[in-house]
Structure 1
Amino acid sequence: MFKGITGNVLILGLVSFFTDVSSEMIYPLLPLFLTGVLGAGPAFLGAIEGVAESTSSLLKLLSGIVSDRVRRRKRLVLIGYTVSSFMRPLIGSAGSALTVLLIRTGDRVGKGIRTSPRDALIADSVDPSLRGKAYGFHRSMDHAGALVGPLVATLLLSYFVTDLRVVFWLAAIPGLLAVLLIVWKVRDTERVPLDKERLQLALIPAGPLRRYLLILFLFTLGNSSDAFLLLKAGTLGVPPHRIPLLWAFFHLVKMMSSMPFGALSDRIGRKSVIVAGWCVYSLAYIGFGLAANEMQVWLLFAFYGLFFGLTEGAEKAYLVDMSDATMRGAAFGWYNFAIGAGALPASLLFGLIWQHAGPVAPFIFGAALSALAMLLLLVLVRPPMEHAPKLQH
């Protein structure tokens, strides 16, 4: 089952697991802390997430380009995780919403620094025929952390502590474990860094890679925040005390499906698996738009979770298949930037459509964009090695 999961891939998976445990001990409680303790409104919560994620997206692009120029990607990965692990628990000391904004942005700065170099290091560390499996494993560990984190926070608040700030400070422990794993266990791969002249070319992806990134951006415009799905669940009668359970169930499906579908893309081709995932997304969004009761919501969250399993590992492996080995960091930088650049307007569009056209129309809009992106991917993107025979093991 774990054949081809190299030491670096395993350790970086564990790093993501502990980091997400730390992050998800805080993130679900942040709205309550901001509104109930610090007296901020929902608009300020939106501003915090918008500023933080925009900063992260830009830094993912820059750090990816820089990682191709330096000899050791590990240093950037370590800096990024260290910054996040140091900043995140400081929310426990925040006395104002503005302080939370600064701390949350610092946390996302760390994410921006580490993400593209880490994904490039995974590509450097695994056989090309097993890239889908490697990225699928990494995403499954990430989702496992996102499943465990809220459960740890719930356990702490139910039996051990009453102050949200204490939970935030305790989130430093898994974050520290993640940093120590990088220091002790992650190894740089042998590679020749890109020279200054070649680096300039990293700013303009060409050919199938450029078309792939543009199509991903189009798809992301219809892929709004999953917070809207939780809002939909609430309007259909899912009580507040079952919302965290629904969210945990959703992450369980993502965790269980990421590695098998990533490995499937190694065998039958990336594009087929991505197209299947986007098809699942489109059907799930139509379902959410038309859903009428709580049982349908639970089934739809399970189905929607398969979209992540089908696409997260395969999309990254497909990107590596199309990119120059000396410019993988830049490729991941543009990949993360395209998704990040589309995420903010996607949620704004979704919210505006919901407000002016009702709760069904935005889901139909998202499904339609997904279908269009799927057709464009099928027609316009054909990487040079797409039909090359897979390596046998």
Structure 2
Amino acid sequence: MYISLTNHPGDPEGTPTGPKAANRVSSVVISLGIVSMLTDISSESVAAILPLYVTGVIGLSTVAYGFLDGLYQGVSAMVRIGGGWAADLGGQPKWVAFFGYGLSAVARVGLLFATSFGALTAVLTVDRLGKGIRTAPRDALVANASTPQNLAASFGMHRALDNTGAAIGPLLAFIILLVIPNGFSTVFVMSLAFALVGVAVLGIIIPNRRTNSPVQPGTTRAPDSAGRPAEIRRIRHRTPWRELNNPGLRRLLLVAGLLGVLTIGDGFIYLVLQDRSSFAAQFFPLLYVGTNVAFLVFAVPVGRFADRFGRARTLVLGHVLLLAAYVSATLPITGPAITILCLVLLGGYYAATDGILAVLATQFTTSATRATAIASAQTVVAVARFISTAGFGILWFAIGREWSMLLVTIAIALVLPIVAAILRSARQYRADV
């Protein structure tokens, strides 16, 4: 059962059709964006206060927090491909995503009682496993509700709504702490409420757009002269995994890994900005808000730009913006202007890469393995960024902030031309979807 928000001519389920399809985003995509917005309000409100809660309330060390943060960033990689594969295998992307969202909502309950390192580790693991399970099926739903002409625009709209929640969550958390000192439990209750509403919206409103035929694998229906199914005969079943053995997809995964290893975690960039400009520590969370607001502003126009001028070019351009952000953070210039510039560049980078990578992954496979292809790219990025976060922390400790930033900036400048060449060579392997 679902509630259809809008019906477009020619498609009762709300997928844009006709001459204006390239400029119209499906109501299903918008509904999925609302689900992500509610969930991000829930998760980002917790993420914004977690450092204070872990070190100030529970009294754990910064080493313990570093472990928890790494867990928060990387554990979802363990199940991303599994979530995508399950969605493709059963043709039920909505319910696989529903399970992932529900798992994260259950973890919010655990936050109300977690007061030790072990309990927090368990709760955060469950939360991130839920994220890993839901992400690829949700992105497959976005792709299934879109047309080839407006695919990047649809992902841009979804990411814009998603990052609206990412900006609102930290603001709500710090307003609560401003009004209620030590009101961490209140933040956790609010987080749980938003998570439950998001799960409810997904279950009630979003249609389950199947990614494959309801006919059992290995069979096909042959219609009679009147067009009615007359028989079911066996055919040789093509293993869907073969569709993932696409040279273009392999090149894309290589690109995702190379760029992911050279992407510094946002927290390190913010620490560089805070240390250089010496602004008050209580304003630190607003840096997250600034990046998410910039992402929100750029997401939709950048998605439309990518549909028109090329998704691979947009991905490379996004990393040029990331390079510029690194340069702005490295330069010995202080003041609010350079800090704001860095946040705007980071937001532009996310707008040009986050959804675009998923769009590129869909171009090298068919709908039968779409979620698995998306999950493969996301897994490579998650693992690469986990490695980069740990590696940059060690590098910072060994040679200092300035030299670490300089080395990474030079490395990504050298890799970008190679990445552009690899993506150009992958174009010939695009699948007909």
Structures share fold, TM-score greater than 0.5: yes
Asked which structure has the greater CA Rg, the reply is 2
TM-score by length of 1: 0.92
Q: Which amino acid aligns with 1:367?
A: T
1:88 corresponds in structure 2 to: 108
Distance 2:287 2:74 in 1: 28
Deviating above 4 A after TM superposition, structure 1's stretches of 4 or more consecutive aligned residues are 193-197
SS of aligned partner of 1:173:
helix
CA contact (8 A) 1:291 1:297 kept: no
Cα distance in 2, alignment partners of residues 385 and 222 from structure 1: 26
**Kept in 1: contact 2:55–2:61 (CA 8 A):** yes
Aligned to 1:223: 263
- The structural deviation recorded for 1:385 is 7.4
Residue segments in structure 1 that go unaligned for 5+ positions in a row:
389-393
In the other structure, the counterpart of 1:361 is 403
Higher RCO (CA-CA < 8 Å; seq separation 6+): 1
1:216/1:338 contact within 8 Å kept:
yes
Other structure's SS at 1:65 match: helix
Q: Displacement, 1:25?
A: 1.5
Q: How many residues align?
A: 387
In structure 1, the residue matched to 2:29 is 9
| Whole-angstrom CA distance in 1 between matches of 2:317 and 2:211 | 35
Q: Does 2:316 align with 1:275?
A: yes
Q: Which residue of the partner structure matches residue 177 of structure 2?
A: 157
Q: How does 1:71-110 map to 2 (within 5 A)?
A: 71-110=91-130
Asked if structure 2 preserves the Cα contact closer than 8 Å seen for 1:65 and 1:199, the reply is: no
User: Per-residue deviation at 1:344?
Assistant: 1.4
Q: Judging changes above 3 Å, is the alpha-carbon distance between structure 1 residues 125 and 309 closer, same or farther for their aligned structure 2 residues?
A: same
Residues 265 and 273, structure 1, Cα contact 8 Å, conserved in 2: yes
Superposition RMSD on alpha carbons, in Å?
2.2
Q: What is the alpha-carbon distance in structure 1 between the residues aligned to residue 84 and residue 171 of structure 2?
A: 33
Q: Distance in 2 between matches of 1:82 and 1:247?
A: 26
8 A contact 2:173–2:187 mirrored in 1: yes
**Counterpart amino acid of residue 223 in structure 1:** T
Worse-matched range after superposition: 352-361 or 177-186: 352-361
Is the contact between residue 311 and residue 356 of structure 2 (CA under 8 Å) also seen in structure 1?
yes
Give per-residue Cα distances to partners, 1:163-203, cap 9 Å, x unaligned.
Answer: 2122112211111110111111110124425958614436x
Alignment partner, residue 349 of structure 1: 391
Aligned residue number for residue 354 of structure 2: 312
Q: Give the alignment partner of residue 252 of structure 1, picking from 293, 300, 305.
A: 293
The offset of 1:53, in angstroms, is 3.5
One-letter code aligned to 2:256: L
Shift of 1:274: 1.3
1:207 and 2:247 equivalent?
A: yes
Aligned residue for 1:391? none
Contact map agreement 2:255 2:422 (CA 8 A) in 1: no
Q: Identify, as 1 or 2, the structure richer in helix.
A: 1
Cα deviation, 1:118-164, whole Å, max 9, x if unaligned, reads 11111111001101001111111111101101111122222256421
**Cα deviation code 1:269-306 (max 9, x no counterpart):** 11221111111111221221224313222221222221
After TM superposition, give the deviation of residue 34 of structure 1 in Å. Answer: 1.1
State the partner residue of 1:383. Answer: 427
Q: C-alpha separation between the residues in 2 aligned to 1:291 and 1:61?
A: 42
- Say whether the 8 Å CA contact 1:139–1:258 is kept in structure 2: yes
